[in-house]
A and B are shown apart, each in its own frame.
Chain A
Amino acid sequence: MKEEKQSGMTFIVKTITNLIVGFMLVFGAYVVLYGHITPGGGFPGGVMIALTYILITLAYGRKVVESIVSGVTGSIMDDIGAIAIIILGFIGLYIGGTFLFNFLPKGTPFNLFSGGYIILYNLAIMLKVGMSLYIVFLALAILQRVVTTRDETKEAGK
């Protein structure tokens, strides 16, 4: 992350963000990947990953976070998640005869690769939820900027 002048919050917030962002990403990935063994799953893990990027947005400003994951990239990853869920469903339809059939082997319990296709489904939901909530936050920031600039021009016109 490169330093930006006059954007985002103070030096204290940026330092704490630098310390904490890696742990947040790793914990989000853990919650997603072990969603079929311990409590968790694709939805809370995806929201944790979205919150990581939102934290970077709040601390560093929009330009820095858009150099990591831009709005277009986030939107494409969101679409990839949605299409992956549909593809998983149709693979199940082709192999097992029903939509979203669990087509992978069951594995031994308490292993990472157990529970069939649940880990893939969790990853797809993570992409879907995390990236869509992140681009919602970006869109809200853009909208707020538009409203504030319009208010400033209105006040200047008076």
Chain B
Amino acid sequence: MNVVLLLHSLLVFMIIGAFVTVEIKNMLSAVISIGAVGFALSMAFLFLGAPDIAITQVIVEILSLILLIRATVNVDNVAIELKGESVFHNRTALIFVGIILVFSWFAFGSLPPFGEPLMRVSEFYLYNGLAKVGATNFVTSVILDFRAYDTFGEAMVLFVSISGAFAILRRWKREQNKDFLRIDREL
């Protein structure tokens, strides 16, 4: 079957899921529909021939679904209604989306057509990766050997963000400083 047709149907499914996520009133249903969007994205990665990214997408989607359901299941289960006039916000958003569409029309026109990638940088990795690194999974040899410094930074991003979250959510000093209690109430 045609891969492009399957990809387009997956993209339409993802767009519908995103609309459902934004428009639905029940928070739990919104979380589940954004999970459906994530699983469709992992299927799209699988059709494009990227099993590494597909595995990571599925696993991280499961984890974020569990976290989001855990965060929303006991809270008041209805979305917050926005009060007041929102015509100005809608118009501003539409203008910015239009500007981005106009520029992306020119930007995407310069990309190579689907299925015919440019083989400038990846050619080097494909021909020399096995001799230089010795790993048969070229994705791993790129992210952990040729571009190991980038992966180092990505691992440290997680470390720094979790350190920051624990610094904010720590329990000591909270009993002395009553202003911290407001954070809990707003969460």
Contacts and interface: CB of A to CB of B under 8 A. Distances in A.
Contacts of B185: 150
B165 interface: yes
Interface in A101-150: 102, 106-110, 114-116, 118, 121-122, 125, 128-129, 132-133, 135-137, 139-141, 143-144, 146-148, 150
B145 A139 contact: no
Contacts, number: 134
User: Does more than half of chain B's interface fall in helix, strand or loop, or is it mixed?
Assistant: helix
B74 A148 contact: yes
Interface string B139-172: 1110111001101100110110010011001000
A37 interface: yes
A142 B49 CA distance: 40
A50 B63 contact: yes
B151 to A, nearest CB: 8
Contacts of A31: 55
B79 interface: no
B60 interface: yes
A99 B150 CA distance: 12
A59 B133 CA distance: 43
B110 to A, nearest CB: 31
B59 interface: yes
A37 B130 CA distance: 11
18 contacts: A39-B52, A40-B52, A40-B137, A100-B152, A109-B136, A114-B135, A114-B136, A116-B133, A116-B135, A125-B151, A132-B158, A133-B63, A136-B162, A139-B165, A140-B67, A143-B184, A144-B71, A148-B74
Interface of B: 51-52, 55-56, 59-60, 62-63, 66-67, 70-71, 74, 130, 133-137, 139-141, 143-145, 148-149, 151-152, 155-156, 158-159, 162, 165-166, 169, 181, 184-185, 187
The 4 closest A-B pairs by CB, nearest first: A115-B135, A106-B134, A36-B135, A39-B51
Given A48-B59, A139-B165, A140-B71, 18 more contacts: A35-B140, A36-B135, A36-B136, A47-B59, A51-B66, A78-B159, A85-B155, A99-B149, A109-B130, A115-B134, A116-B133, A118-B140, A118-B145, A121-B148, A129-B158, A135-B162, A137-B66, A144-B74
